[in-house]
Amino acid sequence: MNVLITGGAGFIGSHLVDRRLAAGDRVTVIDDFNDFYSPARKRANIAPHLENPCFRLIEGDIRDETSVARAFEGQDLDAIVHLAARAGVRPSLSAPVLYEEVNVIGTLRLLEAAVRRGKPRFVLASSSSVYGCGRVPFSEEDPVGRPISPYAATKRGAELHVAATHHLEGLAAVCLRIFTVYGPRQRPEMAIARFLRGVEKGEPIPIYGDGSSSRDYTYVDDVIDGIEAALRAPLQFEIINLGGAHPISLSELVAAIEAATGRTAVVERKPDQPGDVPATYASVEKASRLLSFRPRVPLPEGLRRTVAWLRGHAA
Ligand code: NAD
């Protein structure tokens, strides 16, 4: 398969790049190495592949038509996995226009190019955040008209443009609503990455709210399995949840981190954060039916692997 992975130097993207190259694919990555977190970390994520003749890197911004055209140049793509985005709920509160430009306009640029260049299968990384404060478990049939952060609104906006392009142009597409992902190379501002760093160093870790908020944490290898299944499945247009389907509270997460590290956490209580949802929980019935998706890595095992990686990569 010949695949374009946008945001392929990031956390999830670089795991997908590893997998697709190992499977014998030709892989093009477009990534702008912005400083949302250390660009050096992103470069390290893909460094092992730079000499691989099946790997091509375009350093550029998906908002820029010329950069996107370069990513399509000289090849017939079979598929696009669109992961490039400004991620994270909290940082979106102070930069809503940037989030809109990258996550919505950037997606439109790619959709336009995809339609012009043979309509390769399109897989969008959407997010569980589109469900807002809805009832759990979240099902793809639930109403999603009440986003509670700019990030969530832009992810829903991107889904809607994918749907419209499918309707007008027949682009085969899957929007994956991904639930909080963790594992080696996790974005450093995400809770598990911050907690693990803090506990390893004996520093206080901030806990927002009373510890009862819950998240459906999903190990990165499981998410990659789901993305790969979406690349293979002969679907025309679907929105599908990808989650661990086993939510745990913040307090339980801290206990699991203590168990995985063998250290005691020093907890610093903070008020609830605006934009955060109280709970996420994926119904994965549709993913199981259409993608044969089954999350395989339970949290304690996923945390053990993440701690092992972190200890091997301590700065
Ligand atoms: P990440 O920040 O590690 O990866 C995103 C990559 O996209 C980065 O390498 C970044 O440099 C690149 N990028 C950002 N803006 C760009 C632009 N304008 N042009 C080109 N490249 C650009 O984030 P991640 O955690 O790997 O998330 C990947 C995708 O999955 C995102 O779309 C995110 O919204 C979605 N997602 C992530 C999670 C999660 O828990 N990590 C959950 C749900 C959805």
pLDDT digits (tens, 9 = 90+) for 49-80: 999 999 999 999 999 999 999 999 999 999 99
**pLDDT at residue 232 greater than cutoff 90:** yes
- The overall average pLDDT reported for the chain is 97
| Distance from the alpha carbon of residue 263 to the mean position of ligand 1, in angstroms | 31
Residue 88 in contact with residue 60, Cβ under 8 Å?
A: no
At 165-185, the pLDDT tens digits run: 999 999 999 999 999 999 999
Residue 114 in contact with residue 68, Cβ under 8 Å?
A: no
How far lies 97's CA from each of 86, 102, 103, 120, in Å?
A: 11, 9, 10, 29
The response to whether residue 79 sits with its C-beta less than 6 Å from ligand 1 reads no
Give the type of residue at 175: C
The response to whether residue 62 sits with its C-beta less than 6 Å from ligand 1 reads yes
Q: Quick one: pLDDT at residue 78?
A: 98
**pLDDT at residue 315 greater than cutoff 90:** no
Supply the angle between the helices 106-116 and 150-169 in degrees, to the nearest 10. 20
| Distance from the alpha carbon of residue 143 to the mean position of ligand 1, in angstroms | 25
Q: Which atom of ligand 1 is nearest to the CA of 62?
A: 19
Interval 257-269 mean pLDDT: 97
